[in-house]
Amino acid sequence: MGDPRTGIGRPTTIVDIARAAGVSKSTVSLVLKGSSLVKTETRERVEAVIERFGYVYNRGAANLRTATSSFVGMVISDLTNPFFAELAVGIEEALYQLGFVPILANTNEDLERQGHVLRSMREHGVAGIIMSPARGTDAWTLANLPARSMPMVITMRRILGSPLPYVGPDNQAGARKAVEHLIGLGHRRIAFMGGFASMTTQQERIAGWRDALLAAGLPFDEGLIFESMPTRDGGKKALEAALATPRPPTAVFCYNDIVAMGATRALSTRGIRPGLDVGVVGFDDIDEAEHNAPPLTTVSADTRAMGARCADSLLGLIRGSGAADMSYTGETRLVVRESCGAPFAARKREYA
Amino acid sequence: MGDPRTGIGRPTTIVDIARAAGVSKSTVSLVLKGSSLVKTETRERVEAVIERFGYVYNRGAANLRTATSSFVGMVISDLTNPFFAELAVGIEEALYQLGFVPILANTNEDLERQGHVLRSMREHGVAGIIMSPARGTDAWTLANLPARSMPMVITMRRILGSPLPYVGPDNQAGARKAVEHLIGLGHRRIAFMGGFASMTTQQERIAGWRDALLAAGLPFDEGLIFESMPTRDGGKKALEAALATPRPPTAVFCYNDIVAMGATRALSTRGIRPGLDVGVVGFDDIDEAEHNAPPLTTVSADTRAMGARCADSLLGLIRGSGAADMSYTGETRLVVRESCGAPFAARKREYA
DNA sequence: CCGTTGATTTGGAACGGTCCAAGTCGCTCG
DNA sequence: CGAGCGACTTGGACCGTTCCAAATCAACGG
């Protein structure tokens, strides 16, 4: 057993405590879980010994018997993306509140790695998994995962055809709001920028963009879609592609904030003033968005709350609720700052 | 036991496999660890059954017996800070390679929370902990942690007086390089911006700043230190404070990239051109740095590699190496981009 | 035909908890 | 005075592995 002073040696167990306190291990176990069955005097004696020995509860051993686990797998596709970092923080915080402990895996969009970590997590006995799937994950892969038949919620990237509960923002409605705002500002030629058609998130955001266009009686022109990696660099390239076009757009609605930041930056370096000469709006409302030059108008999905919602849904699943009931589509909110040209439009009105 | 088809019911154990394969559980255990002791024919038979039953190895049970663990605690002070996100990714990646599984906790700079997660991790039987301590963590706290006497490496924020191994960049040398570069560009009034004197990291970076100043025969003026939160907003405020001064600096060396980004942004909104009118340099070289307006000159510490180094050091500690030997100070490298005024200076030379 | 050897296989005690049926103890009540 | 009761306490099986000493088996040499 561990020496109370040095902490050296075999770690102290419940049996050591029992012996030292002159009770049975059952009683110590009872004390540990704060049962009202044990006499106050006994409890105090045991607690004193626990304190003196610096005893550490072995949750793993306990879980073996009860066949439960307080671990939850948190599989993130790209943690260096500030959006996913924020999501991860939301999930972690909520799990902590619920008494769960997150095991982290950053798949870095690697399907093979994703398979590995899923298997590893299962072996480590997680109670469930929250996953933002790597690009390319499809329903079939998901259904044949080593981790099938374990509680799992998918977040942020909908997998068509998968029965797993999905938690994410209402991309279509959010995109529509953003584009309607641009239209309200007087824009008539609005491009969509970033992402690829294979991403369900892009599909949904494009659908919202088209909805807004069509509702305003504007033409839906596929030529105004500029695909790119969903990165700053992608935004830059997409914007350059748009500018190289015979009739460049007067505003761009971007796949996400990162793309929008790349786009505003590319505009600036060419001497075109984002927010004044060209309207730009993003999606996600990451922290950096308000510090961009100019501050980004964007669609907020309340990422942290979404993370909390993932944890709630997983808990529901673990407790036995149906997968369908645990899906959740979050409301979105348009955050108007300067990149869309709102202040410019306002100023125009002011002097008109 | 779990039904091979539906996966419903009690999970399959090694004993179920043994029974079905007509061998003892010892043999199955041997097969599982790829022992050469079992006959090929037997191995194949057992493996077939394992496959058919979709058996999942229970690492927790195994660890109970062997008193080992493949968990490592990863305690991060602020995961929404892109620098720490990058560090976390580096650590996670390295741990994964080494066969460890990271348990994540984001303390959000909360000391109480830090105490909780450390205790929780110990109960969950982590093999060791890698921690970027929350602000305010001191040697005394660390020494009296519930997790004392467990392998632990501290990263990115040195705790004075603690015997724990520390992994971090050479802040002083890095800062000195940055300021020397600024001096070489012709700057004579160089401010230090961001962080607080209570942070060891700030102390080290300020020391480097002073070293460079003194080595160049420039006065070391405490009035040129503008403290602030190490955030974008802090950078903005610090810069405004500097501008409100009778003799504003012509260049600023910032506590980190985030502060520098806040500073460049504040400059821009006041019509002062960062990189042309005022030199700005950051520290950390986060991903965003090169996409800033203008791209940030900064000191790179190779954050990912630093994360890997944390994992290596922890492994060393677990294997029994002395704490002192596991400390590591990483080389830094100045990354010259545009914010320091280098291109401006170059242009000046060009036309001179 | 038996002892020996090397190759395989195995039984059962750990590991550190939880759980529950059963036990102990001091009182009260008839 | 003994049964009954409530308050506490306890022994020992059990969770799913690992480990090791011992058992089994087949083949070989004498």
8 Å CB contact between A152 and A327:
no
Q: How confident is the model at residue A186 (pLDDT cuts 50, 70, 90)?
A: very high
Please indicate, yes or no, whether residues B255 and B346 belong to a single structural domain of this protein: yes
pLDDT tens for B233-266 read 999 999 999 999 999 999 999 999 999 999 999 9
Is B1 within the bounds of a domain?
no
Residues in chain A: 352
Q: B40 CA to C4 C1', in Å?
A: 25
pLDDT of amino acid B57: 97
Q: How confident is the model at residue B6, as a pLDDT?
A: 44
Q: Cβ separation of B80 and A79 shorter than 8 Å?
A: no
pLDDT higher than threshold 60 for residue B67: yes
Contact B59 A123 (CB under 8 A): yes
- Same domain (yes/no): B84, B228: no
Residues B108, B257, single domain; the answer is no
**Contacts for B147 with CB less than 8 Å, ≥ 6 apart:** B118, B119, B121, B122, B129
Residue-wise pLDDT for A26-42, tens only, equals 999 999 999 999 999 99
What CATH number does residue A28 fall under?
1.10.260.40
8 Å CB contact of A59 and B88: no
Contact call for residues B180 and B216 (beta carbons, < 8 A): yes
Which single residue has its CA nearest the C1' atom of nucleotide D14?
A: A65
CA distances from B110 to A317, B203, B205 (A): 31, 22, 24
Residues 50-79 of chain A whose Cβ lies under 8 A from any Cβ of chain B: 56-61, 63-64, 69-71, 74, 79
Q: Which residue among A22, A57, A92 closes a domain?
A: A57
- Which residues form the domain of A273? 171-302+334-351
pLDDT of residue A224: 98
Task: Classify residue B115: in a domain, yes or no.
Answer: yes
Model pLDDT, residue B4: 47
Grade residue B146 by pLDDT with cuts at 50, 70 and 90: low
pLDDT value of position B324:
81
Q: Do A293 and B291 touch (CB under 8 A)?
A: no
Q: Are residues A341 and A219 in the same domain?
A: yes
Report whether pLDDT(B5) > 60. Answer: no
pLDDT of B322 = 84
CA at B18, C1' at D24: how many angstroms apart? 18
pLDDT, average across residues A163-186: 97
> Does residue A9 belong to any structural domain of this protein?
no
Distance CA B117 to C1' C21 in A: 38
Q: Is A102 close to B101, i.e. CB distance below 8 A?
A: no
User: Predicted confidence band at A321 (pLDDT cuts at 50, 70, 90)?
Assistant: confident
The CA-CA-CA angle for residues B189, B191, B192, to 5°, reads 155
Nearest chain A residue (CA) to B66: A61
3-state secondary structure of B330: strand
Please give the average per-residue pLDDT across A258-286, as a whole number.
96
Give the per-residue pLDDT at A343: 59
Structure tokens at B330: 């990483």
Residues with CB under 7 A from strand C: A 10-11, 13-15, 25-26, 29, 32-33, 55-58, 61-62, 64-66; B 22-27, 30, 37-39, 41-42, 61, 64-65, 67
Average pLDDT of the segment spanning B144-164? 89
Residue B125 confidence class, pLDDT cut points 50, 70, 90:
very high
**Per residue in B88-110, pLDDT tens?**
999 999 999 999 999 999 999 99
Q: Cβ contact (<8 Å) for A80 and B291? A: no
Q: Is A204 inside any structural domain?
A: yes
**A120 belongs to a structural domain:** yes
Q: Which residue of B has its CA nearest to A293?
A: B265
Please, are residues A84 and A284 in contact by the beta-carbon 8 Å criterion? no
Residue A338 has pLDDT above 50, yes or no: yes
Q: Are the beta carbons of B92 and A79 separated by less than 8 Å? A: yes
Least confident of A316-325, B116-125, B339-348: B339-348
* Sequence-separated (6 or more) residues with CB below 8 Å from residue A174: A205, A208, A283, A299, A301, A332, A334
Number of domains in chain A: 3
Same domain, B232 and B276: yes
pLDDT of residue B3: 47
- Mean residue pLDDT across chain A: 93
In strand D, the nucleotides that come within 7 Å of a protein beta carbon are 7-12, 14-20
Nearest alpha-carbon partner for A155 in A142, A169, A136 = A169
Peptide linkage before B11 cis (omega within 30 of 0) = no
Q: Is residue A161 domain-shared with residue A308, that is, in the same domain?
A: yes
Is the residue at A63 inside a domain? no
Cβ neighbours for B61, distance < 8 A, ≥ 6 positions apart: A64
Res A350 pLDDT > 70: no
Query: In terms of domains, do A209 and A272 share one?
Result: yes
At residue B318, the pLDDT reads 94
**A2 pLDDT higher than 70:** no
Nearest to A224 by CA among A179, A262, A261: A179
Q: How far is A212 from chain B (nearest CA, A)?
A: 31
Looking at the structure, tell me whether residues B240 and B298 fall in a common domain.
Answer: yes
**Top-confidence residue, A5 or A106:** A106
Average pLDDT over residues A139-167: 90
Q: Would residue A3 count as lying in a domain?
A: no
Same-domain check for residues B135 and B280: no
| Banded model confidence at residue A351, pLDDT cuts 50, 70, 90 | very low
Q: Are residues B233 and B344 in the same domain?
A: yes
Closest nucleotide (C1' vs CA) to B26 is C10
Q: Give the pLDDT mean for B129-144.
A: 94
The two structure tokens encoding residue B41? 């024919």
Domain boundary among A29, A57, A85: A57
Report yes or no: A189 and A251 within 8 Å, Cβ to Cβ.
yes
Q: How far is CA A49 from CA A57, A113, B132, B265, in A?
A: 13, 46, 33, 59
Q: Are residues B113 and B183 in the same domain?
A: no
Q: Does A86 touch chain B (CB under 8 A)?
A: yes
CATH of the domain at A125: 3.40.50.2300
B341 pLDDT band, cuts 50/70/90, is: confident
CA of B212 to nearest chain A CA: how many angstroms apart? 31
For residue B3, tell me if it sits in a domain. Answer: no
Do B24 and B161 belong to one domain?
A: no
Q: With helix as H, strand as E and coil as C, how does A140-206 read? A: HHHHCCCCCCCCEEEECCCCCCCCCCEEEECHHHHHHHHHHHHHHCCCCCEEEECECCCCHHHHHHH
Percent of chain B scored above 70 by pLDDT? 93
Mean pLDDT to the nearest integer, B31-37: 95
Quote the mean pLDDT of chain B: 93
The nearest CA of chain B is from the CA of A137 a distance in Å of 21
pLDDT of residue A1: 45
Ramachandran bin of B50, using left for φ above 0, alpha for ψ from -120 to 50, beta for the remaining angles: alpha
Query: Taking CB atoms and an 8 Å cut-off, how many pairs form between chains A and B?
Result: 127
* CB-based burial label for A214 (10 Å; 0-12, 13-18, 19+): exposed
Query: Could you identify the residue whose CA is nearest to the C1' atom of nucleotide C12?
Result: B26
B124, B268, B287 member nearest A59 (Cβ): B124
pLDDT of B321: 82
- Does A92 touch chain B if contact means CB atoms closer than 8 Å? yes
CB A193 within 8 A of CB A181: no
